[in-house]
Amino acid sequence: MTNRSRSRLGISVALCLGAALGAWSCEQAGGPPGTPAGPSAATAAAKSGGSTPAATPTPSSTPSPTPSSKLPPADSALVTAMTDALQDEYHAEWAYQDVLDAFGNVKPFTSIHNAEEQHIDAVSKLFSKRGLDVPASDWKAVTPLVFAALTDACAAGVVAELENIAMYDRLLAGSLPDDVVKVFTKLMEASRDNHLPAFTKCASK
């Protein structure tokens, strides 16, 4: 799912349900030079009956994240591909959260929503590994989706997952680094082998 209008995700139940039933079946220093050395702090403390003052730790600075030296710079085509994938996963997480808000913790949305959060994390790490800022979601301020029934939401889920699979098929047909291919392939397979069948079954009830 790239940034598509909510109208496509909210496709009519008749079309989605028909598709679901038919074709879509289914991370110690001295002082300065020349300064005579005086008694140590420990010796002075022992003579005075006191305790040895604790050494003050030297604060250490935390280095800023840097891209892996094994990764080549990300060109514009790669950034676009990763952004498309990330926004699509954001879209799915947003849409499925709307369903959970409306119907409660219902299956299969509970588990699939959790999976979408993991997908977002997986794609986000592709940006971080390259020293790139992770894009924010384009879907935070979009009006929530409304479904009359759970089967309607599942039918829309069928469409969403089919579009997600098609997007990854398109992106994987291009020239991508091995780590990106690995992540995209795993996410596509999750949509194809897990999410799509679950939504198809739900939509047919």
Q: What confidence tens digit (pLDDT) does each residue in 58-93 have?
A: 444 444 455 555 676 778 999 999 999 999 999 999
40 part of a folded domain: no
Judge whether 112 lies within some domain.
Answer: yes
Question: Residue 111 domain-assigned?
Answer: yes
Task: Indicate the average pLDDT of the chain.
Answer: 77
**More confident site: 20 or 73:** 73
Counting the structural domains of the chain, the total is: 1
Report if residue 46 sits inside a domain.
no
| Residue numbers of the domain that contains 197 | 77-133+140-203
Residue 183 is assigned to a structural domain of this protein: yes
- 91-125: per-residue pLDDT in tens? 999 999 999 999 999 999 999 999 999 999 999 99
* Assigned domain for 7 exists: no
Residue 106: count of CB within 10 angstroms of its CB: 14
- CATH code, domain carrying 90: 1.20.1260.10
Per-residue pLDDT, 65: 52
Q: Is residue 123 part of a domain?
A: yes
How far apart CA 196 and CA 25 sit, in angstroms, is 9
Q: For 183, list phi and psi in degrees, rounded to 5.
A: -65, -45
| Spatial separation of the C-alpha atoms in residues 173 and 57, rounded to whole Å | 54
Instruction: Give this prediction's pTM.
Output: 0.67
Radius of gyration of the chain (CA): 28
Residue 41 lies inside a defined structural domain of this protein: no
Distance CA 40, CA 184 (A): 63
Q: Identify the pLDDT of residue 193.
A: 97
